[in-house]
Structure 1
Amino acid sequence: MFTREEIIARNNVEIIGSGDTPLMLAHGFGCDQNMWQYLTPGLRDRYTLILFDYVGSGQSQLSAFSEARYNTLEGYARDVSEICHALNLRDVHFVGHSVSCTVGLLAALEHPEYFASQIMICPSPCFLNVPPDYHGGFEWADLEELIELMDRNYLGWASYLAPLVVGAEGSAMLTGELSDSFCSTDPLVAKTFAKATFFSDYRHLLPWAKHPTLILQSQVDALANERVGKYIHEHMPDSRLRVLPSEGHCIHMTHPELVRPEIMDWLQA
């Protein structure tokens, strides 16, 4: 069992802002906590924000990475729960991006006492197409090709994926920032996280959600199309779906002016 100090160092935990309401911000695949810098202004003045990096990402401790622990999303959910325990957190509003929405759901199902609600930004419980009624966006062969590209040409993989994730409305600066983040991640860590992200299917957990959930869906999203957001909403109890007039998968970076008021309205309600 890790000590409080070890967990804070392991996951590079940062606490900013003020207020009685805690928000835990969880980054997506290939990213780190710096990706929240566009959203935190306006939130840090009202809320206490808990930022962190998953093991192997950002400024976390790479030495703590274990392929056995992190080859499924349950390993990342354990990180979240251990941070909550170490900081003695309660009634946390978990703000997850992309795959972290599933990570947050896993953590909340295992330890519901830590959480108050889930805020999902461009979520997807399964990136695969599962005929006839689920369109995750990718065929199995497409994702296998992406993993193979990581082996053949790691920099080329990052250059291919970053503009797809950011979307056409994203600036060259944001695309470059995301590509740099992909490239700075250790290849073994990135490949392990990628497999856990893109080949998993957690749709069966949606009906078991214990907390109210806000789903923020981008109108045009190459990684999590609008049908995915509607599917989650239809299968999650006590959920609210908001489809935003935006393009891209990282709308907390590209459209913070749309995402921020939705979060604040949710928390005030």
Structure 2
Amino acid sequence: MDIRNRNRIRVVGPQNGPTVVLAHGFGCDQNMWRLVLPTLAEHYQVVLFDYVGSGGSDLSAWSQERYTSLEGYALDVIEVCQELDLERVAFVGHSVSAMVGVLAARAAPKRIGSLVMVAPSPCYIDDGDYRGGFSAEDIDELLASLESNYLGWSSTMAPVIMGNPERPELGQELTHSFCATDPDIARVFARTTFLSDTRQDLKSVSVPTLVLECAQDVIAPREVGAYVHAAIPSSRLVTLDATGHCPQLSAPEATAQAITEFLGHLP
């Protein structure tokens, strides 16, 4: 299988330096990293890719059976690293990809040397003392709306997820990204994302980890960031002075600075 074309792999930056792998979240693709890429590529070899079913990936390689679990996406990450013969990369995962990175690091420990979790959430549903940000009924309604009218859902939800209503172009970009995704694939990815519960997997993380949260985020509230940080003893928590769920677009300079400062202190 041609992994490079399957996942639309791109490699930029110095070829002999440490490697950073950037992984996008639900409804997005590698283009979401374009504003932080120049800063990272000054010092690191940066690998960008699209999960199968997203962006410019080979849609013929998509399998509902594989991608109904986050392990399917983790396998994409592992296969990208294998294809490029990468070891001990810094894996930067946005949103659900933060937890995909946790699973990939456990399954292929020699491939992942550190984690940067951008707006992570191991569980979106409130559960006892755990606050994920949504009730079970909220998630049921969200998925029902998405499945009945994906384009309408995208137009309504993307600006909410993005935040920053004073900058409507950001919400419009996320709406366009959502709407460019095949609706049938998006429905599967959405269920995989919003019904996932990977809280128990956090205890498997033993690599240096940066938990990067936004000061205001309706998808991953700060209680979630605190939970992830507390569950990973080797982690560092940084709160960006930013709103919304996509700081790589809404606050790219601060996001890039936080990532480079963390990577610069790694052994």
The TM-score normalised by the length of structure 2 is 0.97
Q: Which deviations, in whole Å up to 9, do the C-alpha atoms of 1:105-158 show, x marking residues without a partner?
A: 000000010111000110001111011x10001111111111111232221100
Equivalent residue for 1:86?
A: 83
2:52 counterpart of 1:55: yes
Greater Cα shift, 141-150 or 95-104: 141-150
Tell me if structure 2 keeps the 8 A contact 1:24–1:51.
yes
Q: How many residues align?
A: 264
Moved more, 168-177 or 94-103: 168-177
**Gapped regions of structure 2 (runs ≥ 5):** none
**Which of 198, 205, 211 in structure 2 is aligned with 1:202?**
198
Take 2:165 and 2:261, find their aligned partners in 1: how far apart are those partners?
25
* Partner residue, 2:69: 72
Report the RMSD for the aligned CA atoms in angstroms: 1.0
1:21 is the counterpart of 2:22: no
Determine if the alignment matches structure 1 residue 149 to structure 2 residue 145. yes
Q: Which residue of 2 aligns with 1:162?
A: 158
1:173 and 2:169 aligned: yes
**Residue among 110, 120, 145 paired with 1:123:** 120
Contact 1:102 1:125 in 2 (8 A): yes
Q: Shift in Å at residue 171 of structure 1?
A: 2.0
- Matching residue's letter, 2:132: G
Rounded to whole Å, the distance in 2 between the matches of 1:240 and 1:14 is 29
**Match of residue 223, structure 1, among 219, 224, 230:** 219
SS state of the match for residue 93, structure 1?
strand
Stretch moving more, 164-173 or 56-65: 164-173
Instruction: Give the distance between the partners of 1:262 and 1:62, measured in 2 at CA.
Output: 34
Q: What residue is the counterpart of 1:241 in the other structure?
A: 237
Contact 2:159/2:165 (8 A) holds in 1? no
Task: Decide which of 182, 187, 194 is 2:178's aligned counterpart.
Answer: 182
Distance in structure 2 (CA, Å) of the matches to 1:59 and 1:109: 27
Cα drift, residue 169 of structure 1: 5.5
Q: 1:192 aligns with which of 172, 179, 188?
A: 188
Amino acid at match of 2:93: G
**What displacement does 1:164 show?**
1.3
Deviations 1:173-217 (A, max 9, x none): 221111011011111110100001000100001111021100011
Structure 1 residue runs of 5 or longer lacking an equivalent are: none
CA distance change for structure 1 residues 259 and 170 in 2, over 3 Å: closer, same or farther? farther
TM-score by length of 1: 0.96
User: What percent of counterpart residues are identical?
Assistant: 46
SS in 2 for 1:75: helix
